[in-house]
């Protein structure tokens, strides 16, 4: 069903949504979507940095205590 919409159908849907909600509401909604995407990207970046830091901390020194004294 969605494969047969095409450009004219998308334009008709866009016009109907614009008429129903108005330009101000749609603009505000798109702003909120943009903020959500930005927050999601920041969260993913922070999560990967946290995982990398945790793995780097865990991998700092793997030498057994008995081997450290021999140097």
Print the SS3 string covering 11-56. Answer: HHHHHHHHHHHHHHHHHHHHHHHHHHHHHHHHHHHHHHHHHHHHHH
Contact 33, 41 (CB under 8 A): no
Q: Tokens for 22?
A: 């108005």
- The answer to pTM > 0.85 is no
Q: What is the mean pLDDT of each run of 10 residues along the chain (71 residues)?
A: 79 90 85 95 94 76 66 54
Please provide the size of the chain in residues. Answer: 71
* Distance, CA of 47 to chain centre: 11
């Amino acid at each position: 069903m969605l494969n047969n919409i095409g450009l004219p159908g998308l334009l008709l849907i866009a016009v109907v949504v614009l008429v129903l909600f108005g330009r101000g509401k749609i603009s505000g909604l798109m702003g909120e979507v943009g903020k959500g995407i930005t927050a999601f990207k920041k969260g993913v970046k922070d999560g990967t940095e946290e995982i990398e830091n945790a793995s780097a901390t865990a991998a700092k020194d793997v030498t057994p205590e008995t081997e450290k004294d021999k140097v």
